[in-house]
């Protein structure tokens, strides 16, 4: 049986500017994404019939309980494979096997990552020969973060996040991800954000110049000072215990700490790999999070291995 395997990174938002809710329910975003080497793998195997099926296995740590991931048509990897198949009139099926390391409902776009990986894996398995542009177009129909997870690296995201363009970034950044014992619903966080702005709508979002300057210079300390997330207040309101993680990171001289996307994962910026190891140990011992995982970025987007 032929198989293809794709590795795909998690994403973080170095800044996340969120504008007022649009009539279609989406929020305009101005963000800088970075892909980090906390990776899922998606394997696609040839099957005899036309069915697209999926199995999910969790990699690594039993310390944290994972939220359930759908193993039927609602799995984003299955949706991605079916969207590719429809777009190219393919009749073959595929057996998808996901090995998950990206926390589920962690604000790191794990589901979107699996969708991007399934597009690349099935394109190779079926010999679709989709162009990068065609894959990106399908990706945007699957979710706002999916085009970036094809792209990888460090990139600007506009529109609802699906309009991706590269940004100049030098060097490598070392992160610790403080992972919570249970996930947080992105929809719930956006709903709380809207409630918080019911009286005065937020302004049009923008990317802070200080962040772009820090990235262009590869200056980790300046990057730490420039991190920002408009959703952080709403996430902290729903999960007040996350403030403790931010406090511990501050006490431990992290270069910066911020809720990742809609949370509840908190990303903590270290000076170098040994500082990152030290921060991970401190965060774990503090009991403020269920797990502390070291990773660095930028990483390439979904790619065959």
Distance between CA atoms of 139 and 115, rounded to whole angstroms? 8
**Closest CB to ligand ATP: residue number:** 111
Q: Which of 40, 145, 230, 291 is catalytic?
A: 145
Interface ranges with ligand ATP (CB under 6 A): 69-70, 74-77, 98, 104-112, 114, 145, 186, 261-262
Q: Can you read off the two tokens belonging to residue 124?
A: 């190779």
CB of 190 to ligand ATP, least distance (A): 9
Q: Tell me whether residue 171 is exposed, middle or buried, using C-beta atoms within 10 angstroms of its C-beta: 0 to 12, 13 to 18, 19 or more.
A: exposed
Q: Which of 11, 40, 100, 114 is catalytic?
A: 11
Q: Given the complex with ligand ATP, which of 6 and 214 has the nearer CB atom? A: 6
Whether 11 sits among the annotated catalytic residues: the reply is yes
Q: How many residues make up the chain in this entry?
A: 305
Q: Given the complex with ligand ATP, which of 104 and 124 has the nearer CB atom? A: 104
Q: Given the complex with ligand ATP, which of 159 and 218 has the nearer CB atom? A: 159
CB of 109 to ligand ATP, least distance (A): 4
Whether 145 sits among the annotated catalytic residues: the reply is yes
CB of 217 to ligand ATP, least distance (A): 28
CB of 170 to ligand ATP, least distance (A): 26
Between the alpha carbon of residue 120 and those of residues 44, 127, 164, 198, 213, the distances in Å are 10, 10, 18, 41, 33
Distance between CA atoms of 78 and 303, rounded to whole angstroms? 18
Between the alpha carbon of residue 18 and those of residues 24, 45, 98, 262, 269, the distances in Å are 15, 39, 31, 11, 22
Can you point out the beta strands (E) in 19-67? 29-45, 52-58
Q: Classify the C-alpha dihedral 101-75-123-155 as positive or negative.
A: negative
Q: Given the complex with ligand ATP, which of 93 and 183 has the nearer CB atom? A: 183
Q: Given the complex with ligand ATP, which of 224 and 261 has the nearer CB atom? A: 261
CB of 243 to ligand ATP, least distance (A): 19
User: Which residue numbers are catalytic?
Assistant: 11, 145
């Amino acid at each position: 049986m032929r198989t293809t395997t794709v590795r795909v990174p998690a994403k973080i938002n170095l800044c996340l500017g969120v504008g007022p809710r649009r009539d279609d329910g989406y929020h305009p975003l101005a963000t800088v994404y970075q892909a980090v080497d906390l990776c899922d793998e998606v394997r696609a195997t040839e099957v005899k019939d036309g069915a697209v099926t999926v199995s999910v296995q969790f990699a690594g740590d039993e310390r944290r309980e994972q939220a359930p991931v759908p193993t039927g048509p609602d799995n984003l990897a299955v949706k991605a494979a079916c969207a590719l198949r429809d777009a190219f009139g393919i009749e073959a099926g595929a057996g998808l096997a996901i090995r998950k390391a990206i926390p589920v409902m962690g604000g790191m776009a794990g589901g979107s990552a699996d969708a991007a990986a399934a597009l690349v894996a099935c394109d190779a398995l079926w010999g679709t020969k989709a162009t990068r542009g065609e894959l990106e177009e399908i990706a945007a129909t699957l979710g706002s973060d999916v085009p970036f997870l094809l792209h990888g690296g460090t990139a600007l995201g506009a529109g609802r996040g699906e309009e991706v363009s590269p940004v100049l970034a030098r060097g490598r950044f070392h992160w610790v991800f403080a992972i919570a014992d249970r996930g947080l619903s992105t929809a719930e966080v956006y709903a709380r954000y809207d409630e918080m702005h019911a009286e005065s709508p937020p302004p049009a979002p923008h990317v802070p110049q200080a962040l772009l300057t820090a990235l262009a210079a590869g200056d980790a300390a300046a990057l730490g000072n420039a991190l920002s997330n408009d959703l952080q207040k709403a996430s902290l309101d729903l999960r007040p215990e996350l403030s403790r993680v931010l406090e511990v990171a501050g006490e431990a001289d992290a270069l910066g700490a911020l809720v990742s996307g809609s949370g509840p994962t908190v990303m903590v910026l270290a000076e170098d790999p040994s500082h990152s190891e030290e921060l991970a140990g401190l965060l774990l011992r503090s009991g403020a999070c269920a797990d502390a995982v070291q990773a660095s970025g930028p990483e390439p987007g979904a790619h065959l291995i």
